[in-house]
Amino acid sequence: MKYLVIGGAGFLGSHLIESLSGDITVVDDLSTAKYFQGNAKLIREKIENFSTDEKYDYVIHLAARPSPEDYINHPVETALSNSVGTYKALEIARRSDAVFLYTSSSEIYGHAEVIPTPESYWGKVNPTGVRSCYDESKRFSEALIMSFYREYGLDVRIQRPFNVYGPRLREDGSYGRVISRFVYQALRGEDLTIFGDGNQTRAFLYVSDWVEATKRMLGPGLKGVILNVGSDKETKIIDLAKTIISMTGSKSGLKFLPPRQDDPPRRAADITKAKEVLGWEPKVSLFEGLKMTIEWFRGVLS
């Protein structure tokens, strides 16, 4: 089997590729990625600029800059990798007659009014806000993918991951997502930075559960499927911070900062459909996942 994995050197890609066997080509500009896995061939290029005559069985588009603080500083690149980039990837899949899998995002729901959020919810998104480079480009990608499905009959699958975390999630201040940032801060004895009052929620998914769902989504008979890949267990950010301080045995305190602009106040996945369609549900609890993540960070930071 021949795989083209776009953005395959990033956090999600590195875990997925480790668990795939076959002939794997990664296209990645390495702009945010640090963990390229040696069992694949790397082409260092942005998907927007990539062209090839090769044919693939699977085209998987993971390339994105999912950290709000990072994408807000690189809005054009963020918007292009999930618009022009998706178009380029779809054309490669169409020419190859490949299965096309896209990692969209729970961001497409914006400030969701239905929690946990099912796939049928249309979203409540600020089309011109600071997060729009990310959520609107993901929404456009979904629309383009469904257009290729309807017009050309391409075998497409769309997943919407919700706050996936685990080893290799970047920790640095200008980039880190909340779990890697808090673990990093706690292990270094720095105060954990909470945006707003910390009552906003997320539902976190450990990366091995994401890999399992993703591999199942590459299976037969799933043409045109759209699925949430996440957890339905909501956690308040302030509780997450306290849990990480206690699990690391850290002396860190909490530092409250102004809220992020357009930060969704609540987020959790309705995974009824993923359970039915894939026979999948998360196996790793937040506690177990945090334990493995903390252990990995201890190793990296020591």
CB of residue 34 vs ligand UDP: minimum separation in angstroms? 18
CB of residue 70 vs ligand UDP: minimum separation in angstroms? 9
User: What single string gives the DSSP state of each residue in 39-104?
Assistant: TSEEEES-GGG-------SEEEE------HHHHTTSHHHHHHHTTHHHHHHHHHHHHHT-EEEEE-
DSSP reduced 3-state for 31 = coil
Q: Verify whether residue 134 is a known catalytic residue.
A: yes
Q: Residue 276 corresponds to which amino acid?
A: E
**Using the rule CB under 6 A, is 157 a contact of ligand UDP?**
no
- For ligand UDP, the binding residue among 68, 85, 110, 282 (CB under 6 A) is 68
User: What whole-number distance in Å separates Cα of residue 11 and Cα of residue 293?
Assistant: 13
Using the rule CB under 6 A, give the single segment among 116-124, 142-150, 174-182, 268-276 that binds ligand UDP.
174-182
CB of residue 249 vs ligand UDP: minimum separation in angstroms? 20
Whichever of 60 and 237 has its CB closer to ligand UDP, that residue is 237
Catalytic residue among 134, 149, 165, 184: 134
Compute CA distances 248 → 28, 206, 208, 302, whole Å.
Answer: 34, 18, 22, 14
CB of residue 68 vs ligand UDP: minimum separation in angstroms? 5
Residue 255-284 contact track with ligand UDP, rule CB under 6 A, x = bound: -----x--x---------------------
- For ligand UDP, the binding residue among 177, 206, 226, 248 (CB under 6 A) is 177
User: What whole-number distance in Å separates Cα of residue 22 and Cα of residue 40?
Assistant: 9
Q: How far, rounded to the nearest angstrom, does the alpha carbon of residue 30 sit from its chain's CA centroid? A: 16
Using the rule CB under 6 A, give the single segment among 6-14, 50-58, 88-96, 193-201 that binds ligand UDP.
193-201
Across 38-62, b (16+ Cβ under 10 Å) vs e yields eebebeeebbbebeeeeebbbbbbb
Whichever of 87 and 195 has its CB closer to ligand UDP, that residue is 195
User: What whole-number distance in Å separates Cα of residue 99 and Cα of residue 101?
Assistant: 7
Interactions with ligand UDP, residue window 207-246 (CB under 6 A): 237
Across 163-199, b (16+ Cβ under 10 Å) vs e yields bbbbbbbbbeeebbbbbbbbbbbbbeebbbbbbeebe
- For ligand UDP, the binding residue among 193, 235, 243, 272 (CB under 6 A) is 193
Give me the half-sphere count of Cα atoms (radius 13 Å) on the Cβ side of residue 67: 22
CB of residue 259 vs ligand UDP: minimum separation in angstroms? 7
- Say how many residues touch ligand UDP, by CB under 6 A: 14
Using the rule CB under 6 A, give the single segment among 109-117, 151-159, 176-184, 225-233 that binds ligand UDP.
176-184
User: What whole-number distance in Å separates Cα of residue 108 and Cα of residue 140?
Assistant: 10
- For ligand UDP, the binding residue among 163, 228, 248, 250 (CB under 6 A) is 163
CB of residue 179 vs ligand UDP: minimum separation in angstroms? 7
Report how many helices (DSSP H) and strands (DSSP E) the chain contains, helices first: 10, 13
Catalytic (active-site) positions: 134
List of residues contacting ligand UDP (CB under 6 A) = 67-68, 163, 177-178, 181, 193-195, 200, 202, 237, 260, 263
